[in-house]
Amino acid sequence: MPRSSAVRFSHFLPSLLLLLAGLAAAYVKDLNVFFTSLFNVLPTLVLLLGGSYCAVYCRQRELFLMVTVYIAYFLLDTQTDYYRDNGRVREDAAVVFHLVCLLLPLLFGLFAAWQERTHLFQDMVARFAVLLAFGSVALGLEQSYPQALLMWLSEIRWPALHGAWMSLIQLSYPVFLSAFLLLAWQYWRNPRPLHAAQLVGLLGVFWMLPKTFILPFTLNIMCSQVMLMIAAAVAHEAYQMAFRDELTGLPGRRALNERMQRLGRNYVLAMTDVDHFKKFNDTHGHDVGDQVLRLVASKLSKVTGGGRAYRYGGEEFAVVFAGKTLEECLPHLELIREAIASYNIQLRNQENRPQDDHQGRQRRGGSGASSVSVTISIGAAERLEQRTPEEVLKSADQALYSAKGAGRNCVMAFGQTRRGAVRTENAAG
């Protein structure tokens, strides 16, 4: 997946917005009857809708995350309801609250990092068994040895690390920290909207617990928001699978088709193709071929002039310029062609890929590594009177074939002759 800052920010944005909305709602005073009633049923409603959505798409990890948050909500909501109705807490309030503060981050981190790698039914049984085991042990201890359990949970084991600001039991802080580090490492290894939502959701839970008996409806609001983050992340990833190409990170064919329906009156479409890609693939292997496609996609994604690149299929890409004329777009396409033609690709083992751009530049600057270069051909067409986007795209494809016939490694507009092609002197075959 692409690892640019913009992509990473897009992973976190929906969850951060939900977290901020939850924080703002929790501090609102004097709620009217409508919002009071809404917050009372919101967690259950979110679980039913979001859980059903996850179940339909067999997203068991996300489903158990939501169930874990909801169980914590149910246990604490029983205590807060009693507190609001009677003005005092129940006798078991302390031990239940401390158990939730310890087990919620533990189970949240466990289920968040537990990926589905086995048969769906086996995976579901295993997750349910873990949840049942933790719940049964906690319930048994709470019912049989409440005072001994309370003393064990609330004991300050590390006085030097205990601060006056700590409003949770001391044991919960290392558990929260461990879960956060685990989920941060998971996101670093595999940046996904779901992994970002897990991180932000854990922060929301950490903020919520100390405010459970202080701010009205904090529990209802934040538990609902955390479950919404998970459901929204599932929807975000479903969108990416449908509209974004996994290999290159560019928007895919379906995204291009939708964009073409909203182009307006003036636009330019360009089709690009990697020259002799099949021969290159057969010579250097599919791994290097994928590397070439990622390179071309990376360069095309930086096209200037207001263009937007899409993965059309195979080694073909499309570039859309909305509100532009052909004369305005050709120089920008030529810049992209030159950037790709002048770039030397260092052939390396996929297991030895650099972790960042700086390390990659250092390796490319070294000596002794074999390198190859590729070129692309580009055909462009402009919308004329009474032409549909599909017809313009077909004209761009015809211009691409003309560029291939003109010697490749050139940019040609629809209707140009070979002499009119924009190309370099050493246009390669």
Cα 286 from Cα 305, distance rounded (Å): 32
Q: What is the pLDDT at residue 368? A: 47
Backbone angles phi, psi at 365, to 5 degrees: -80, -10
Q: Which residue ranges in the chain fall short of pLDDT 50?
A: 1-3, 350, 364-368, 418-420, 422-429
Q: Please, are residues 2 and 240 in contact by the beta-carbon 8 Å criterion?
A: no
What does the block give as tokens for 10?
């897009």
What is the amino acid identity at position 150?
A: L
Q: What is the pLDDT at residue 386? A: 60
Q: Each residue of 283-304: pLDDT tens digit?
A: 878 888 888 899 899 999 999 9
Q: What is the pLDDT at residue 278? A: 86
Q: What is the pLDDT at residue 419? A: 42
Q: What is the DSSP letter of 428?
A: -
Q: Please, are residues 324 and 265 in contact by the beta-carbon 8 Å criterion?
A: no
Q: What is the pLDDT at residue 424? A: 42
Q: What is the DSSP letter of 171?
A: T
Residue indicated by tokens 């998971």: 186
First-residue to last-residue Cα distance in the chain: 31
What does the block give as tokens for 429?
């075959």
DSSP H or E segment with residue 368: none
DSSP H or E segment with residue 408: none
Q: What is the pLDDT at residue 420? A: 46
Q: Please, are residues 65 and 195 in contact by the beta-carbon 8 Å criterion?
A: no
User: Which residues, including other chains, have CB under 8 Å from residue 40's CB and lie 6 or more apart?
Assistant: 220
Which residue, 154, 64, 143, is CA-closest to 101? 154
Cα 288 from Cα 277, distance rounded (Å): 11
Which residues are catalytically annotated? Answer: 315
Q: What is the pLDDT at residue 367? A: 46
What does the block give as tokens for 96?
């239940």
User: Which residues, including other chains, have CB under 8 Å from residue 231's CB and lie 6 or more apart?
Assistant: 46, 49, 50, 53, 54, 62, 66
User: Which residues, including other chains, have CB under 8 Å from residue 213's CB and lie 6 or more apart?
Assistant: 79, 80, 83, 89
